[in-house]
Structure 1
Amino acid sequence: MYLLITYDVCTITPDGAKRLRQIARICKDYGQRVQNSVFECSVDPAQLVQLRHKLLSTIDPTVDSLRIYQLGKNYRAQISCYGRVTSFDIEGELIV
């Protein structure tokens, strides 16, 4: 399943800055950063449960915001990119 994860972490305190880094690190383990606080992830249902648990146990729900959008099977038809493209096809072949 294809996900779009967005977050806004309050970084007024040192703890907030630490949470911001932790959230980004967790998201990077499951997908790719496409903007500062936006990640695209391709996960199976079990990975989604793990990812959601990790993120929810990291954020401070009183000051932070987290959104997880499940884009469905036909997600490619729903994505339009304009300007500089900074991502790759997460489900395509990767040549190293």
Structure 2
Amino acid sequence: MMVIISYDVSTVDKSGQTRLRKVAKECQNHAQRVQNSVFEADLDYSTFLKLKDALIRLIDEEKDSLRFYYLGNNWSRRVEHVGAKRGYNPEGVIII
């Protein structure tokens, strides 16, 4: 299932800067960055739940926020891209 994950982490203090790096790193481990604080994740449900739990544990719910947009399996009809940084097809071929 395709999920869009966005976050806003307060970086007014050192602990916020650390949280921001950890949240970004966790997202990069499981998803594709499409904008600075926005990731697209094409994951099975159990992997997504683990990622969601890890992200929730990393943030300070008094200062930071996470948003999850569930696009499901027919996501390609629900995403429209305009402008720079062409999108990618997470179901396509990946060459390493």
Pairwise TM-score range, normalised by the shorter structure? over 0.9
CA distance in 2 between partners of 1:52 and 1:71 (Å)? 15
Q: What is the CA distance between 1:86 and its match in structure 2?
A: 4.6
TM-score by length of 2: 0.95
Structure 2 counterparts to residues 45-64 of structure 1, below 5 A? 45-64=45-64
Q: Which 5+ residue runs of structure 2 have no aligned equivalent?
A: none
Where has structure 1 moved over 3 Å in runs of 4 or more? none
What amino acid maps onto 1:56 in structure 2? I
Q: Which residue of 1 aligns with 2:30?
A: 30
TM-score by length of 1: 0.95
What is the SS of the residue equivalent to 2:72?
coil
What is the SS of the residue equivalent to 2:88?
coil
**Identity rate of aligned residues, in percent?**
40
Q: Which 5+ residue runs of structure 1 have no aligned equivalent?
A: none
CA distance in 1 between partners of 2:23 and 2:87 (Å)? 19
Q: Which residue of 2 aligns with 1:79?
A: 79
RMSD, aligned CA: 1.0
